[in-house]
């Protein structure tokens, strides 16, 4: 069987690239090592798939080249994926901050992508573990690509690599994309877990482990970046959307600064004329604004307390810039995505094709473009896939 393009990996990016190329009449072979396509889509967004974000802008993505993603994101927008979702009569809602979720289940998104693949005559082979890739000519820059699985060799003049990153090895992340990049001389930016919980150590872990399960809306800052969302205490450290977001920017050993009450005063009641100024009043003031266990824990950590105007001002300031010094992150096992990856300098921003290897494309999470939490990573998967699928 002759194909115009082989796509490695039937995740969000591979499926979308297959649809776009197939619709243009390209003969597409999609190879997936798992027995099911789109496994990460199925578990995403708590099973409801946060499939895009209405406010997706280039600023929502990290990359060594912040301009790289602009072209693809402009040519496949949230409106495009919404139109596809609506074509398939999938009900959706905006949860918060522009995040769009299925009302029903993430299965519907996978079913939608598979229906579109079938309509575009894409041939999908599941259980096809791609072990190696070469070029028929022996020259890395010309000739058909040969993709070898455990049982067959497939041939096509174009190859799109959509094998994702290193996050969640249990779900089949393989790092094949990076190995192939090395083989073809394509540079890779150092990879690291992103959108990942952070781990506390020593006395900090001991003190805050007592708060496991407590969450609060906060503003968290690392360097020049801040996010205002919920923080969640875990038995090993910190998680919740605020921490997942800042984890993409945090570089150890810099401290994180947490504002427990953004834009609000916590100790104002103690500063009123004739107000009581003692430990009980301080606990009452903090408990009025924060979960009681958190309020008590913060005051314990700040003790011994003093109640002069100056001391109260200092404590107020500390409660708006509470330093944590994580000792690390929870690693790829718990990371939603992999930051870093295929160096965008090596790719065309219009098509995702490697500048030095005609016919070879990288898309999705494998590329050094990483979205914030909230539907941005799928938007990048759709957009980079559409760019390649329309060009190949
Ligand atoms: P993806 O990893 O999805 O697909 C790669 C595919 O390649 C896999 O199917 C894999 O089996 C296959 N493959 C690998 N090696 C192979 C080989 N050797 N041969 C053949 N096939 C191979 N994002 C978002 O925007 N909204 C959300 O709600 C969520 N939620 C979420 C929850 C959880 C728990 C995680 C882990 C991640 C998210 N994400 C998310 C992130 C999102 O899932 C991620 O960015 C995309 O799935 C990336 O899509 P890709 O297609 O690039 O890789």
- Which residue shows structure tokens 């992340």? 173
Write a three-state SS string for 46-114: HHCCEEEECCCCHHHEECCCCCCCHHHHHHCCHHHHHHHHHHCCCCEEECCCCEEEECCCCHHHHHHHH
Q: What are the mean pLDDT values of the chain's consecutive 10-residue runs (392 residues total)?
A: 94 98 98 97 97 97 98 98 98 96 98 98 98 91 94 97 94 91 98 98 95 98 97 98 97 95 96 93 97 97 94 97 97 97 98 98 98 98 98 98
43 lines ligand 1 (CB under 6 A): yes
Write down the number of H helices and E strands in the chain.
Answer: 13, 22
175 lines ligand 1 (CB under 6 A): no
Q: From ligand 1's centre to the CA of 40, what distance in Å?
A: 5
Residue 111 neighbours by CB under 8 Å, 6+ apart: 88
Sheet holding 132-135, edge to edge: 132-135, 145-148, 153-156
Q: From ligand 1's centre to the CA of 164, what distance in Å?
A: 6
- Can you read off the two tokens belonging to residue 46? 């708590």
Burial class, 143, CB count within 10 angstroms (exposed 0-12 / middle 13-18 / buried 19+): middle
What pLDDT score was predicted for residue 141?
A: 87
What pLDDT score was predicted for residue 171?
A: 84
Nearest CA to ligand 1 atom 12: 9
What pLDDT score was predicted for residue 170?
A: 87
Alpha-carbon distance 174 to 127, whole Å?
14
What pLDDT score was predicted for residue 38?
A: 97
56 lines ligand 1 (CB under 6 A): no
**pTM over cut 0.95:** yes
What pLDDT score was predicted for residue 375?
A: 98
Alpha-carbon distance 266 to 7, whole Å?
55
What pLDDT score was predicted for residue 1?
A: 66
CA distances from 71 to 53, 76, 388 (A): 17, 9, 12
Phi then psi for residue 142, to 5 deg, are -150, 155
């Amino acid at each position: 069987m002759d194909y115009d393009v082989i796509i490695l990996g039937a995740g969000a990016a591979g499926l979308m690239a297959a649809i776009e190329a197939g619709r243009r009449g390209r003969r597409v072979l999609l190879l997936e090592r798992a027995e099911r396509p789109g496994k990460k889509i199925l578990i995403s967004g708590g099973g409801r798939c946060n499939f895009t974000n209405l406010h997706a802008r280039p600023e929502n993505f990290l990359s060594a080249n912040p301009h790289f993603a602009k072209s693809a994101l402009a040519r496949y927008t949230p409106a495009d994926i919404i139109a596809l979702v609506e074509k398939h009569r999938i009900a959706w809602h905006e949860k918060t901050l522009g995040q769009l979720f299925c009302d029903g289940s993430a299965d519907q998104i996978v079913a939608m992508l598979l229906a579109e693949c079938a309509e575009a005559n894409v041939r999908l082979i599941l259980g096809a573990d791609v072990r190696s890739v070469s070029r028929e000519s022996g020259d890395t820059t010309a000739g058909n690509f040969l993709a070898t699985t455990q049982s067959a060799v497939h041939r096509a003049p174009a190859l799109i690599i959509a094998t994702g990153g290193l996050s969640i090895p249990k779900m089949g992340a393989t790092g094949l994309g990076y190995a192939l990049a090395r083989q073809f001389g394509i540079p890779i930016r150092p990879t690291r877990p992103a959108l990942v919980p952070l781990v506390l150590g020593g006395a900090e872990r001991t003190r805050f482990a007592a708060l496991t399960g407590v969450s609060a809306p906060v503003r968290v800052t690392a360097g020049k970046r801040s996010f205002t969302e919920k923080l969640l205490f875990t038995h090993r450290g910190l998680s919740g959307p605020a921490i997942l977001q800042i984890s993409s920017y945090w570089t150890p050993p810099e401290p994180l600064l947490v504002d427990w009450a953004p834009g609000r005063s916590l100790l104002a009641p103690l500063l009123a004329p004739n107000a009581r100024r003692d430990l009980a009043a301080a606990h009452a003031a903090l408990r009025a604004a924060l979960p009681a266990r958190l309020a008590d824990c913060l005051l314990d950590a700040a003790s011994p307390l003093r109640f002069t105007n100056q001391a109260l001002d200092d404590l107020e300031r500390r409660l708006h810039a509470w330093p944590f010094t994580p000792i690390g992150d929870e690693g790829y096992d718990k990371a939603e995505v992999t930051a870093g990856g295929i160096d965008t300098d090596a790719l065309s921003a219009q098509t995702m094709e490697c500048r030095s290897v005609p016919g070879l494309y990288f898309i999705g999470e494998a590329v050094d473009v990483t979205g914030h939490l909230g539907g941005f990573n799928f938007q990048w998967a759709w957009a980079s896939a559409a760019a390649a699928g329309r060009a190949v």
